[in-house]
Amino acid sequence: MTIRRNGIGMTSPRTRQRMIDRLREQGIVDEAVLAAMYEVPRHLFVDEALASRAYDDVSLPINYEQTISQPYIVARMIEVLRNSGSRPIRRVLEIGTGCGYQAAVLAHVFPEVYTMERIEPLYQRARKKLSDLEIKNVVVSYADGSAGMPGAAPFDGIIMAAAAPVMSAALREQLAVGGRMVLPVGRLEQWLYLVERTESGFRESRLEPVKFVPLLMGKA
């Protein structure tokens, strides 16, 4: 897969390398995740007026009351998904495509990615951006992701980019045995959770406090 990493000044490869150095300092150690974060040009997924802040460790608005997550949380969630179990992950479902940035990073790490977006303009934007960048192992769907994608299940991994008020039983059931899910849960107080499916049931681990936009139902 080839991505045109255009950009100068604040969007240059040197700027991206500073982001990777910061991620290392923040505790990200998975080299595959770090390589993917370096390779994907985050400045192309935000409005041009915000490009100079694209590699800062902040979330940024992408319109429609949605945001692109800060680089650390993207790296952290994918690292947890990759390294928390013994089963290798090939098929991943992402809930909440947004601008498509996290899907692009996932596509560099996993062979097969499915992603769902409920807001049509964001869906159209993400699909075009991923196509322009010649990322071919992502299937983008315009759909309500709150119930997952049962027609394509089971998945080795599920990652959610919006906070559900409670843990989703429907999404858990779409995990393959040995699969795992990383998602924020909560309303005012949100926590990142890891859910692992075993032969005998599910195991939940609360990881760290986070702040995400809320998971909403229905298409928009």
**Could you list the active site residues?**
69
Residue 97: name the closest of 34, 48, 149, 174 by CA. Answer: 149
- DSSP designation for 200: T
Which residues, other chains included, contact 115 with Cβ-Cβ below 8 Å and sequence gap of 6+?
A: 93, 94, 95, 97, 100, 103, 106, 126, 138, 139, 140, 141
Beta bridge partners of 195: 181, 204
Residue 82: name the closest of 113, 109, 111 by CA. Answer: 109
**How far, in Å, CA of 96 to CA of 179, rounded?**
19
Q: Is residue 80 within 8 Å of residue 206, measured between CB atoms?
A: no
